[in-house]
Structure 1
Amino acid sequence: MTLTQAAFPNRSILMNTMLVLAGSALLAASAQVSVPMFPVPMTLQTLVVSMIGLAYGARLGAATMLAYLAEGAMGLPVFANFSAGIAPLMGPTAGFLWGFVGMAWLTGRLIENSDGRAFARLFLAALIPALLLFVPGVLVLRIVTGMGWQAAAMAGMVPFLLGALVKAVVAAMAIKGGWSVLAQR
């Protein structure tokens, strides 16, 4: 059981829609907290993707990421540095953006059939998909820019590894805290 399933046991389509919209808005806001790096900026997006996956579960988490990508494709300035349109979905960061769908799904899947309240489980469910996100991220970065494997890994993975670890800890702590608040209700 996920945090949102426990908080809203009889979720309707309207409630799920509201959760998706809230999650995609939070993800859009996190994209604007950015350290400019070229060609991949450092943002808080992966933290939010982990938190959404942990709180929403696989299907609703993935649906939230798809909504976010659709919002950006339609021209809403939801991507890093208030960018929008098709270009970010086909450029150097496209592997990361599209990878958010799989990251949220896998994060949710790893937590759905387990004790979703244990810190260690929350941490691993956040960390493993965050590390796997580097696969499509570096692959697309290499293809789009023409960089070699080593250069693509140095630009799209190495600077972000410590951040992935820290964000997994923060995501696990936040969701653990959510469970504590819910238990006191």
Structure 2
Amino acid sequence: MTLAQAAFGHRSFTAQALLVLSGSAALGLLSQVEVPMVPVPMSLQTLGVTLIGLTFGARLAALTVLAYLAQGAAGLPVFSGGDAGAHHLIGPTAGFLWGFVAMAWATGWLAERGMDRGVLRLFAASAIPAALLYVPGVAWLTLFVGLDLPTAVAAGAVPFLLGDAIKCAIAAITVSGGWKALAAKRG
């Protein structure tokens, strides 16, 4: 059972739709907190994807990220820096954007299998998919943007390692606190 299921109980279609909309909106807001870098900006998107995965579970998390991508492609300013447009789904950051779907699913999958309790397990459930996000991100930079592998790793992975570790710790502490607050509320 995920934190969202524990907090809200049996979820109707309407409740799930509201979670997707609120999750994609939160992801859009977190995307606005950024440090501009080239070719990939540093933002709180991965923190949002991780929190969504840890709290929603695999399928609902992946659907939430797909909704976020659709919103951005449709012209809503939800991408990093308030940007929008379908061109982002094939531009320099496309590997990361599409990788967010897999990251959300994998984080949710780990949470559904018992890695959603305790800070250390939550950190692992956050860090493993976050590390795997570099695969499509760096691959896209090499195959479609034309960077050689060392340059793609230097531009698309190395600058983000420490920040991603910190975001995984923040997610683990936040979700662990959510479980504790829910337990306290129930007495």
TM-score normalised according to structure 1 size = 0.98
**CA deviation map 1:123-160 (0-9, x unaligned):** 10000000000000011112232110000000000000
In 1, Cα distance between equivalents of 2:47 and 2:80:
14
CA contact (8 A) 2:115 2:125 kept: no
8 Å CA contact 2:116–2:125 kept in 1: the answer is no
Match of 1:145 in 2: 145
- Which residue identity does 1:75 align to in structure 2? G
Partner of 1:44: 44
TM superposition shift of 1:11 = 0.9
**CA–CA separation in structure 1 for the residues paired with 2:9 and 2:120:** 25
Deviations 1:90-132 (A, max 9, x none): 0000000000000000000011021522211111000000000
CA distance in 1, matches of 2:40, 2:74: 22
Q: Which runs of 5+ in 1 are unaligned?
A: none
**Mapped pair 1:157 → 2:161:** no
Deviations 1:48-74 (A, max 9, x none): 100100000000000000000111111
- List structure 1 runs of 4+ shifted beyond 4 angstroms: none
Alignment of 1:22-37 (within 5 A): 22-37=22-37
Q: Which residue of 2 aligns with 1:95?
A: 95
Q: 5 Å matches for 1:1-185?
A: 1-114=1-114, 116-185=116-185
Question: What amino acid maps onto 1:83 in structure 2?
Answer: D
Q: How many positions carry a matched residue from both structures?
A: 185
Letter in structure 2 aligned against 1:11:
R
CA RMSD across the alignment: 0.8
* SS across alignment from 2:40: coil
Gaps of 5+ in 2: none
TM-score w.r.t. length of structure 2:
0.97
